[in-house]
Structure 1
Amino acid sequence: MIESLQIRNYAIIEELTIDFSKGLTIITGETGAGKSILLGALGLIMGRRADIKSLYNLEDKCTIEAHFHIGKYALQPFFEAHDLDYDDHLVIRREITPSGKSRAFINDTPATLPVLQDLSSALIDLHQQFDNLDIHKVSFQLRLLDALAENRPLLGRYQALFSAYQQNLRKLGQLNERQANASKELDFIRFQLDELQAAALEEQEQDTLEDELNRLTNAEDIKRTMAGAFQQLSESEVSVVGQVEELSTALKQVKSFDRRLEPLYHRFNGLVEELRDMAQEFEAIAEDTEHDPERAQEVQERLDLIYRLQNKHQAADIKALLDIQHSLQQQLDGIGDLSQEIEQLERQTAQQVQQLEGMAEELSTRRHHVVAGFENQVEQMLAQLSMGNAKLKVDISRLEKLNSTGFDEVNFLFAANKGGRLQLIKDVASGGELSRLTLVVKSLVASAIPLPTLIFDEIDTGISGDVALKMGSILRELSNEHQVVSITHSPQIASRANAHYFVYKKDKADRTVTEVRALDTEGRIYAIATMLSQDPPSESAISNAKELLQKA
């Protein structure tokens, strides 16, 4: 609940403080005295945009500060989510500097306007004529109906299950996407691996094949050269080997004559043996070398395959290709099949849908069960508030798919006048009608729904006498469950107050300012009597005022 509102340097308010009652606080005053200014200041606390034109003194900053007790609102998660210090005693402050800069604070911690708006919506329900009120909203209408149907425990279980179902749906979508991507990746990896495995590569193969291809390509030159070399070394009439042998024999005959010739003889004799071995190898190579076009083609094709794979995989050699083949095999082994997990999750979500549908059906049945009684009560209470021809219909339609509240869509249809067509509330109700409808609806669910502090501005427009008295009684009854603040021109409503504030203008030396004072019993009698007649009030008006207060 709001405990106090402190305003300094705002509009025509120099400085004032209002302390609010736990029950029904009434604010009255002359037209133009500044009651709407109080709501404007409260609007700043609720996160509305600030305007430098609102400053009373353009050389000083404007400060609006509201104190709340929030122990019963369970707002700790909100404070944690926004990194704010929590305390049962909450202070919200807005400041507007002469330069036009606006700042907001929650428990002395700077806060953005969206955060302030979210927080204040859980604390203050401000009803002004021609505003877009909560009762317009389909979500709020459903919330009211669920409160009447006492659906909170069932709805809580449903929403917990629905949240788990939504998580499973998201997970299922992710798994299916992963499976699809994995299938594509699997096919590509398997294709590359199959290609490398089919090649059956060996690490030293490339060098061997390149040597063989070079030999096969030049076989005729090799054979001719080796055969010629063999012929010249050992087979011709003047063979190299024969000539060297003759020289060796000659050296043998003279080597004993000169000690220097002995080592030369042995070296030359070794040369003869080396030439004979070389001639035999030349002969063997010549006999072994054959021109084989088919084998050359076969080797060339094998090398072409190796070169293509190296180019495709950006590999320098066959060892690099074998490393890639090993890596692809590891990737293939690491890609698991998600089909089983997907199948299990699909069964789980199907079971959840079945459970959700059963719970949604029960929620819907309970909602339908309270509709007729709710419609009748609203119409009866509206009749007491001078709207005897008003009609309310709760239209419940079925959605195609489940959402967080079941499969019901709720719309309140309203007709204020006799014979009027039932339409959506936002399309048909005037400000005064909407205020009374809102008062009636919220009073019916006051004990079932955790509504914040309710503030009504001129909810009594267009009513008087006994109707206003009944409205005052409804407000007083509503204040038993919630803190209620009402700005009113009705003496009947004012008489129901637990606390009564009077707003008035006061002339100072240089300008007029708005002041507020709390009224004691005598002050209330005088204010209500003035509302009944004139200022100063007549004796009969004072008597009537006393009677109203006694009945209250």
Structure 2
Amino acid sequence: MIERLHIRNYAIIEELTIDFSKGLTIITGETGAGKSILLGALGLVMGRRADIKSLYNLDSKCTIEGFFNVEAYDLRSFFDEHDLDFDPQVVIRREITPSGKSRAFVNDTPVTLNVLQDLSSTLIDLHQQFDNLDIHKVSFQLRLLDALAENRPLLAQYQSLFSAYQQDQKQLKTLIARQQQSAKELEFLQFQLEEFNTAELVDGEQEELEEELSRLTNAEDIKRTLAASFQQLSESEVSVIGQMEELTQAIKSVSSFDRRIEGLYGRFSGLVEELRDVAQEFESIADETEHDPERTQEVQERLDMVYRLQNKHQVASIKELLDIQADLQQQLDDIGDLSQEIERLQQSTQEQRQQLETMAEELSTRRHSVVGGFENKVEQMLAQLSMQHAKLKVDISRTEDLEPTGFDEVNFLFAANKGGRLQLIKDVASGGELSRLTLVVKSLVASAIPLPTLIFDEIDTGISGDVALKMGSILRQLSNEHQVVSITHSPQIASKANAHYFVYKKDKEDRTVTEVRPLEMEGRVYAIATMLSQDPPSESAINTAKELLLQSS
């Protein structure tokens, strides 16, 4: 709720402060005294565009400050979202410099006009004739109906599930798109993987195959060379090993004469044995080695296949090819896992949708159940406000698909006069009629829906007498649930105030300024009596004013 409005250097206001009641605050005054200027200043607090022409003194800056108690509002998340320090006492300030620069602050922190507009829209509901009232909005009409139907717990449950449903639907669409894209690549992946599976590669085999191919292609040279080497070492008449054996015996015969020769004998004997083993290895390899054209071709083909895969995938080893094979397999496995996840989400979203449809049906049933009573009450109250022939119809139609509020689309259709065609409220032109309709509708849901401070500007246009008295009673009743501020010319409405302010002009030496003063009982009697007759008021008007105030106390 707004607790105070402080204005300095704005229009014909030099400086003034208004403290607002928790209940119904009434502002009255002479025509042209500056009541609309107060709303203009409040509009700046709400984020409306500033104009240098608004400055009272062109050499000084204009400052408008609104002091609000937001303890009853759930605004902490808003403050966190916009990096503002949260406090139950909020000060919104607008400044306009002589150069025309405008700045906005929330608790001394600079903010943009968009942020200010979002915040103030939750704090102030300003009703001026021909303004775009909330009641025009389809979303607000649906909120009103849900409040009357006491749908809030069910709607919160529905919206929580609907949010999860939307997220799962979005994920499902993403996965299906990925699967469709993957399907295009599936055949190619399978072809590539089939090449690897057919190859049956083994890490390290390339080196073995290359060595084997070298051995096979040089088999004749290997066999001839090793056989000749074996012959020279072991089998010829003057074989190397035979000659070394003779030397061994000769060295042995003198080894006992010198320890050094004895050591050399041992080493030389070892060489002979080693050479004998080498000769046997030569013989064995020579015997095993055969020229095998079939095996040569087989090994060559195997290596050609390895080289072809390496060139294709631009790698240089079988290990790298095996890594690629594993990656291809993983891609195919992922496609399989994607199908399982899609199936799971399809099942989940189907179950969610069934639950949502059931809940949406219940929401719709509850909405339909309150429509008749709501229409009747609105028409009855409008009749009391001199709109005997006004008709309101709540039209509920179905949307093509589930929406965040179910599948109901709500439109209020209104006709102000007898025989008039029911039209969408936004197409109804009369500001006075709309103001009364808004007052009636919001008074009916005051205790069921969170509304901000309600400000009505000349809602009494075109009415007087008993009708105005009844409108004042509605405003007073509405103020039991919400803070209400009304600028009025009606004495009947003014008599219902919890706090009454009088706006007037005061002549100074060089100019006229607007002032505001709070009225106590005596001042209220005088102001209401003046509204009833003239200034100064007649005795009968004073008595009538006292009677009105007595009835309202």
Task: Give the TM bin, normalised by the shorter chain.
Answer: 0.7 to 0.9
Q: What is the correspondence of 1:175-190 to structure 2 with a 5 Å cutoff?
A: 175-184=175-184, 187-190=187-190
Residue-by-residue CA offset, 1:199-219 (whole Å, 9 max, x unaligned): 34567877898999999999x
Identity in percent: 80
d(CA) in 2 for partners of 1:445, 1:156: 18
Partner of 2:461: 461
Q: What is the correspondence of 1:394-413 to structure 2 with a 5 Å cutoff?
A: 394-413=394-413
1:213/1:421 CA distance change after superposition, 3 Å: same
d(CA) in 2 for partners of 1:342, 1:421: 52
Partner of 2:389: 389
Q: Which moved more, 1:209-218 or 1:363-372?
A: 209-218
1:153/1:317 CA distance change after superposition, 3 Å: closer
User: In 2, are the aligned partners of 1:499 and 1:518 still within 8 Å (CA)?
Assistant: yes
Q: Give the secondary-structure state (helix, strand or coil) at the position aligned to 2:510.
A: coil
1:421 Cα deviation from its structure 2 partner: 0.6
Q: Name the aligned partner's letter for residue 423 of structure 1.
A: Q
Partner of 1:84: 84
1:8 aligns with 2:3: no
Residue-by-residue CA offset, 1:265-297 (whole Å, 9 max, x unaligned): xxxxxxxxxxxxxxxxxxx9xxx989x8x9999
Q: What is the correspondence of 1:197-212 to structure 2 with a 5 Å cutoff?
A: 197-201=197-201
1:29 aligns with 2:29: yes
1:500/1:323 CA distance change after superposition, 3 Å: closer
1:511 aligns with 2:535: no
Q: What is the correspondence of 1:372-521 to structure 2 with a 5 Å cutoff?
A: 372-521=372-521
d(CA) in 2 for partners of 1:363, 1:197: 59
1:531 aligns with 2:531: yes
Q: Give the secondary-structure state (helix, strand or coil) at the position aligned to 2:447.
A: coil
TM-score, structure 1 normalization:
0.81
d(CA) in 1 for partners of 2:469, 2:81: 45
1:134 Cα deviation from its structure 2 partner: 0.4
Residue-by-residue CA offset, 1:50-102 (whole Å, 9 max, x unaligned): 22222222222211111111222222222222222222222111122222222
Q: Give the secondary-structure state (helix, strand or coil) at the position aligned to 1:153.
A: helix
d(CA) in 2 for partners of 1:158, 1:327: 44
d(CA) in 2 for partners of 1:5, 1:302: 92
Supply the RMSD in Å over aligned alpha carbons.
Answer: 3.7
d(CA) in 2 for partners of 1:201, 1:301: 14
1:110/1:214 CA distance change after superposition, 3 Å: same
Partner of 1:232: none
1:330 Cα deviation from its structure 2 partner: 5.3
Q: Name the aligned partner's letter for residue 169 of structure 2.
A: L
1:165 Cα deviation from its structure 2 partner: 2.2
User: In 2, are the aligned partners of 1:414 and 1:429 still within 8 Å (CA)?
Assistant: no
Q: What is the correspondence of 1:120-135 to structure 2 with a 5 Å cutoff?
A: 120-135=120-135
Q: Give the secondary-structure state (helix, strand or coil) at the position aligned to 1:338.
A: helix
Q: Give the secondary-structure state (helix, strand or coil) at the position aligned to 2:374.
A: helix
d(CA) in 2 for partners of 1:468, 1:203: 97
d(CA) in 1 for partners of 2:512, 2:297: 111
User: In 2, are the aligned partners of 1:415 and 1:429 still within 8 Å (CA)?
Assistant: no
Q: Give the secondary-structure state (helix, strand or coil) at the position aligned to 2:143.
A: helix
Partner of 1:264: none
d(CA) in 1 for partners of 2:182, 2:130: 58
d(CA) in 2 for partners of 1:331, 1:420: 69
Partner of 2:191: 191
Q: Name the aligned partner's letter for residue 127 of structure 1.
A: H
d(CA) in 2 for partners of 1:193, 1:550: 95
Partner of 1:155: 155
d(CA) in 1 for partners of 2:2, 2:141: 25
User: In 1, are the aligned partners of 2:179 and 2:335 still within 8 Å (CA)?
Assistant: no
TM-score, structure 2 normalization:
0.81
Q: Give the secondary-structure state (helix, strand or coil) at the position aligned to 2:14.
A: strand
Residue-by-residue CA offset, 1:453-501 (whole Å, 9 max, x unaligned): 1000011111112211111111111111111100111111111111111
1:194 Cα deviation from its structure 2 partner: 1.9
Residue-by-residue CA offset, 1:166-206 (whole Å, 9 max, x unaligned): 23323333343444455555554433222233234567877
d(CA) in 1 for partners of 2:402, 2:417: 36
1:42 aligns with 2:42: yes
Q: Which moved more, 1:516-525 or 1:107-116?
A: 107-116
Residue-by-residue CA offset, 1:284-315 (whole Å, 9 max, x unaligned): 9xxx989x8x9999888767655543332122
Q: Name the aligned partner's letter for residue 397 of structure 1.
A: S
Q: Give the secondary-structure state (helix, strand or coil) at the position aligned to 1:94.
A: strand
Partner of 1:172: 172
Q: Which runs of 5+ in 2 are unaligned?
A: 225-285
User: In 2, are the aligned partners of 1:179 and 1:337 still within 8 Å (CA)?
Assistant: no
User: In 2, are the aligned partners of 1:6 and 1:16 still within 8 Å (CA)?
Assistant: yes
1:130 Cα deviation from its structure 2 partner: 0.6
1:329/1:142 CA distance change after superposition, 3 Å: closer
d(CA) in 2 for partners of 1:462, 1:343: 65
d(CA) in 1 for partners of 2:464, 2:135: 24
Count residues with an aligned counterpart.
Answer: 505
Residue-by-residue CA offset, 1:308-360 (whole Å, 9 max, x unaligned): 43332122355543443344445555665233333333333222222222222
Q: Which runs of 5+ in 1 are unaligned?
A: 227-283
1:197/1:536 CA distance change after superposition, 3 Å: same
